[in-house]
């Protein structure tokens, strides 16, 4: 048995040697360095051989299990966003981008080494339980998340519908730790919500439209286009797009959304990797019909991440929208998903996003034109307003007492633009 194993690894080394023979022959001077490929692969295969030969539990030494474990460790050591996905994880990711998947409805990331809630998705168990952006997940079903990889945490959060999951949450804003018991559901995400013309008691004589984009998935641009048609049919003169707590999603969806407001073939974002040849530009579709150039505001905050930041950065740089709110999350790295032969996949960070004005998004975020913050009570009220009729009488009273000062600033900005535009047109009418 041992002889067969040794021969197997000698064969593996021979194949590797043939595959990288040119590199081995031309880089012999680097043989003693830490980055010598052949020598380090020999260490890896020797360790794998010893595990197969001598580890006490024979149920844990299958080639697949060992290979998957090695890949998980390899990817998680690179950065919080690179990860190895087993075939079931890869299928789950595909389901998520189609707007339907099983879980708790909590978007998480690693921030300063801590598993942190980026945003709870609306109409999901996490949202209804009152979990907030910025909450830190200390334990999942009693298992500490300290040193846990992002993918391992996601695996614990997801599962079959109907199963209960206990999350131990620390909330930095009030320094409280609390257990939440949530039940998994099939998550169906409506990405465009609350499209309406704002009450004229707030907007005066102007018709200002409002809508929220909760995340960017496959149908988002189509849903948004339909809602814009409805608002324009009602006489909309200006628009507020709320991207607060939008954790992102598909890059192509974010670009398509920008295409509804920008001229065809306009560069929205570009990526740069290790080599200059890896630069790639993403343009709006040449076939999308451009809409009227109505005044526009985007609402953003620290929970606006990834795709939200791409949209915000592009529309700000290209002077198509005014940004109101707080600096965004700063998640601007590109993860390429590469499927492997057995149905598993690598999610690998390969580049960073840059706005049209060459501003890097990653770890910097997008700074608004008009800074406006919410108090902790106003932020809580904003989350509660989105719970669609699930409020208790006390919560309803609390919400009614709190203002959305960011939305108020957005309305004021649009009213100022429209008054200015009206004044600009009056002298031209007089000359005629």
Q: How does pLDDT run across 144-181, given as a tens digit for each residue? A: 999 888 878 988 998 888 899 999 999 998 899 999 99
336 part of a folded domain = yes
How far apart CA 211 and CA 226 sit, in angstroms, is: 12
- Same domain? For 178 and 209 the reply is no
pLDDT score, position 89:
79
Query: Taking the chain, what is the end-to-end CA distance rounded to the nearest angstrom?
Result: 97
Note whether residue 75 is domain-resident.
no
- Residue 93's domain comprises 87-98+100-188
Are residues 271 and 321 located together in one domain of the fold?
A: yes
With CA atoms as reference, report the closest residue to 89 among 154, 137, 161.
154
Where among 131, 164, 188 does a domain terminate?
188
Q: Which residue has the tokens 């999951």?
A: 165
pLDDT recorded at residue 388: 62
| Annotated active-site residue in 306, 308, 333, 344 | 306
Q: What is the pLDDT of residue 3?
A: 39
Distance CA 166, CA 143 (A): 10
Same domain (yes/no): 212, 111:
no
Q: Is residue 22 part of a domain?
A: yes
Residue 55 tokens, joined: 């580890």
**Residue in 331, 333, 404, 415 annotated catalytic:** 331
By three-state DSSP, how is residue 94 classified? helix
134 with 268, same domain? no
Q: Give the CATH number, domain containing residue 155.
A: 2.30.42.10
Same structural domain for residues 252 and 369?
yes
117 and 183 co-located in one domain: yes
Q: Rounded distance, CA 26 to CA 369, Å?
A: 53
- Assess whether 357 carries a catalytic annotation: no
Least Cα distance to 321 among 297, 288, 304, 299 occurs for: 297
Is 306 a residue of the active site?
Answer: yes
Give yes or no for a contact between 257 and 221, defined as CB atoms under 8 angstroms apart.
yes
Question: Do residues 210 and 270 both lie within one domain?
Answer: yes
Q: Do residues 133 and 22 both lie within one domain?
A: no
Global pTM reads 0.70
Supply the DSSP symbol for 216. Answer: B
Give the pLDDT confidence of 236-249 residue by residue, as tens digits.
Answer: 999 999 999 998 98
Q: Which of 188, 217, 251 is the last residue of a domain?
A: 188
Domain identity same for 265 and 376: yes
pLDDT in the model for residue 79 = 87
pLDDT at 27: 39
Q: Please name the residue that has the structure tokens 């030969």.
A: 53
Q: How far is CA 56 from CA 2, 46, 52, 69, 300, in A?
A: 15, 17, 9, 17, 54
> Which among 317, 336, 352, 412 is annotated as catalytic?
317
Look at strands 83-85 and 345-354 and give their pairing.
antiparallel
Neighbouring residues of 428: CB distance < 8 A, sequence distance ≥ 6 = none
Q: Are residues 224 and 345 in the same domain?
A: yes
Which of the listed residues 188, 208, 232 is the one where a domain comes to its end? 188
Give the C-alpha distances (Å, rounded to integers) separating 356 from 128, 314, 337, 353, 378: 38, 6, 24, 10, 33
Domain co-membership, 227 together with 311: yes
Label residues 277-295 b or e (16+ Cβ within 10 Å = b): eeeeebbbeeebeeeeebb
**135 in active site:** no
Rounded mean pLDDT for each run of 10 residues along the chain, 432 residues in total: 37 36 38 70 92 93 92 90 87 66 83 87 86 92 91 85 94 92 85 95 95 93 96 97 93 95 96 87 88 95 94 98 97 88 92 94 95 94 79 87 97 96 70 48
Find all residues with CB under 8 Å of 40, minimum gap 6, and list them.
34
Residue 73 placed within a domain = no
Give the pLDDT score at 317.
98
Count how many domains the chain has.
Answer: 3
Is residue 51 located within the same domain as residue 106?
Answer: no
**Distance (Å) of CA 58 to CA 8, 45, 68, 329:** 18, 18, 16, 45
């Amino acid at each position: 048995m041992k002889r067969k194993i040794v021969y197997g690894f000698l064969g593996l080394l021979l194949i590797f040697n043939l595959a990288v023979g040119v590199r081995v022959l031309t880089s012999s001077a680097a043989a003693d360095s830490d980055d010598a490929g052949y020598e380090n692969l020999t260490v890896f295969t020797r360790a794998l051989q010893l595990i197969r030969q001598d580890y006490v539990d024979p149920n844990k030494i299958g080639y697949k299990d060992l290979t998957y474990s090695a890949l998980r460790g390899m990817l998680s050591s690179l950065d919080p966003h690179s990860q190895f996905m087993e075939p079931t994880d890869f299928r789950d990711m595909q389901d998520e981008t189609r707007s339907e998947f099983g879980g708790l409805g909590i978007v998480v990331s690693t921030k300063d080494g801590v598993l942190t809630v980026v945003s709870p998705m609306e109409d999901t168990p996490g949202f209804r339980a009152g979990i907030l952006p910025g909450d830190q997940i200390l334990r999942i079903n009693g298992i500490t998340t300290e040193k846990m990889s992002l993918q391992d945490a996601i695996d614990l959060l997801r599962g079959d519908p109907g199963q209960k999951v206990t999350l131990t949450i620390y909330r930095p804003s009030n320094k409280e730790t609390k257990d939440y018991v949530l039940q998994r559901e099939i998550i169906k995400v409506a990405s465009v919500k609350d499209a309406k013309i704002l009450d004229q008691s707030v907007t005066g004589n102007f018709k200002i439209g409002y809508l929220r984009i909760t995340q960017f998935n496959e149908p988002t641009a189509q849903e948004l286009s339909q809602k814009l048609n409805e608002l324009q049919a009602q006489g909309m003169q200006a628009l507020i797009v709320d991207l607060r707590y939008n954790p992102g999603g598909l890059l192509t969806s974010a670009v398509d959304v920008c295409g509804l407001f920008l001229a065809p073939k306009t560069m929205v974002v570009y990526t740069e990797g290790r080599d200059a040849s890896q630069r790639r530009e993403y343009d709006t579709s040449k076939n999308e019909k451009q809409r009227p150039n109505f005044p526009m505001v985007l609402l953003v905050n620290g929970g606006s991440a990834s795709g939200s930041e791409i949209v915000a950065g592009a529309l700000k740089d290209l002077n198509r929208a005014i940004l109101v709110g707080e600096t965004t999350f700063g998640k601007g790295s590109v993860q390429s998903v590469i499927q492997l032969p057995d149905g598993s996949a690598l999610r690998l960070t390969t580049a960073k996003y840059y706005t049209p004005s060459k501003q890097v998004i990653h770890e910097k975020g997008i700074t608004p034109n008009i800074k406006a913050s919410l108090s902790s009570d106003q932020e809580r009220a904003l989350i509660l307003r989105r719970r669609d009729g699930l409020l208790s009488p006390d919560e309803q009273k609390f919400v009614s007492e709190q203002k959305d000062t960011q939305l108020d600033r957005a309305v004021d900005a649009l009213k100022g633009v429209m008054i200015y535009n009206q004044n600009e047109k009056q002298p031209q009418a007089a000359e005629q």
